Amino acid sequence: MKRGNWIVKIAAFVLVAIALMGLVTMLLWNWLVPDLFHGPELTFWQALGLLALTKILFWTFGKKHQGHGGHWRPYWKDKWNNMNPEDRERFKQKMKDKWCNWGESTSTKDSGTSID
């Protein structure tokens, strides 16, 4: 009987959590969207449908992913491990020049011009 009691408690918790998420979604939507974008107000059931739609479109269904672009990591890890120290330093410098100095390159171009 204790096992059945836990199942009922877990099911109740899940239902309450879903209801709270739907309620919070509905309240936030109805607070923001009509005023900011002149959009419609949602009912509770529409908010739950919106949550289900976002689950379908944006979330994973139990897949364990490695984050954005995780499928490229083994390629770059192997490539990095196969580089000799000189190639690694050249690569680091190239990335540093490309990504760390981008703000400086635009400011030096603008510093030579004058507005009359």
- Going 49 to 50 to 54 to 60, the CA torsion angle's sign is negative
pTM: 0.50
Between the alpha carbon of residue 72 and those of residues 47, 68, 75, 84, 99, the distances in Å are 36, 9, 5, 21, 20
Domain ranges of the chain: 1-52
Task: Look at 93 and 114; give whichever has higher pLDDT.
Answer: 93
Taking only the tens place, the pLDDT of each residue in 20-69 is: 999 999 999 999 999 999 999 999 999 999 999 998 888 765 555 555 55
Whether residue 113 is predicted with pLDDT greater than 60 in this model: the reply is no
Burial class (CB in 10 A: 0-12, 13-18, 19+), 51: middle
